[in-house]
Structure 1
Amino acid sequence: MDIIIKRFTDFDIQELYQLLQLRTEVFVVEQDCVYQDMDGKDDKAIHILGYINDQLASYTRIFKPGDYFDQSSIGRVVVSPLYRGKSYGKEIMKASIAFIKAENYPSVKISAQCYLDKFYTDLGFIATGEKYLEDGIPHQAMLMEL
């Protein structure tokens, strides 16, 4: 998988369309969750994109400390249904964590869907606090010290 790192202003129209299409396909349609994916935060984020043969296969967005949580954070973690089962989710998360480490941020916090607990704990995240509903889906805060 080819990893590309971009700021919001670096996207061309086609790349941005593919990114928003993937997020909508999974977070709105597949998960049957009506919510505003385009939340006005993409312009602050660093975008980590994973491509297979020029097709967007996986994605995350990263915020520096203070932009979303007190810690740096990773969100909108998604793998295209066409590319699941090939460890691209772990690969995009490892690339995202590596970016955060390179920025010398001391920790990373995520708001994780509870059914993905093992996925995130295998990467080194630890659940913190109570579980909660976010957009009707059970979530938990998770933290990784770097």
Structure 2
Amino acid sequence: MKLSVKKTSELSVLELLEIMKARVKVFVVEQECPYQEIDNQDDDAVHMILRVDGELAAYTRIVDSPSQGYISFGRVLVVKKFRKQHLGREIVSATIEEIKEDFPGNDIKIAGQSYLLKFYESFGFKPVSDVFLEDGIPHINLVLKVQS
């Protein structure tokens, strides 16, 4: 297993295409949710890429929202072939640690799919909203308070 952390500007064209293909496959095709998967937040994001035997196995995207006073991550995915190997836990844990290192003292706010509430709570996230629909999928806002 190998973890890479790269800003969008540091990704090669092939790496960027690989990420976008995986995201579209999971979030648009598998979840049958047509929406604008690639967005302006990709322009200046940090990409967490977990590889197994050279293949993209899990991924997250970190987004800095300085005017909002928090850091966020999303687009959490595990490629179908690598599911049931606890790589979701691995990539989320690594993402939280990266945020704590790069953005010390900033709380982490995410909009997670509501069926994953217990998963995110296991990292210390607390719900701060009711369940709402985002692109037709039930989500909930969650915050992880980070001690400075």
Same fold (TM over 0.5): yes
Partner secondary structure for residue 29 of structure 1: helix
Q: Could you report, residue by residue, the CA deviation over 1:46-77 in whole angstroms, capped at 9, with x for unpaired residues?
A: 1110000110001001112337x531001111
Aligned counterparts of 2:125 and 2:34: Cα–Cα separation in 1: 28
Give matches, 1:79-94, under 5 Å.
Answer: 79-94=78-93
| Number of residues of Structure 1 aligned to a counterpart in Structure 2 | 145
Give matches, 1:45-124, under 5 Å.
Answer: 45-66=45-66, 69-103=68-102, 104-124=104-124
Contact 2:8 2:47 in 1 (8 A): yes
- Aligned CA-pair RMSD: 1.2
Contact 1:22 1:80 in 2 (8 A): yes
Partner secondary structure for residue 59 of structure 2: strand
Q: Sequence identity of aligned pairs in percent?
A: 38
Aligned counterparts of 2:136 and 2:66: Cα–Cα separation in 1: 25
Contact 1:72 1:105 in 2 (8 A): no
Q: Which runs of 5+ in 2 are unaligned?
A: none
- Superposition TM-score, scaled by structure 1 size: 0.95
Partner secondary structure for residue 63 of structure 1: strand
Shift of 1:41: 1.3
Q: Could you report, residue by residue, the CA deviation over 1:107-137 in whole angstroms, capped at 9, with x for unpaired residues?
A: 1000000011111111111111121100000
Contact 1:46 1:63 in 2 (8 A): yes
Structure 1 runs, 4 residues or longer, greater than 6 Å off: none
Contact 2:33 2:135 in 1 (8 A): yes
- Superposition TM-score, scaled by structure 2 size: 0.94
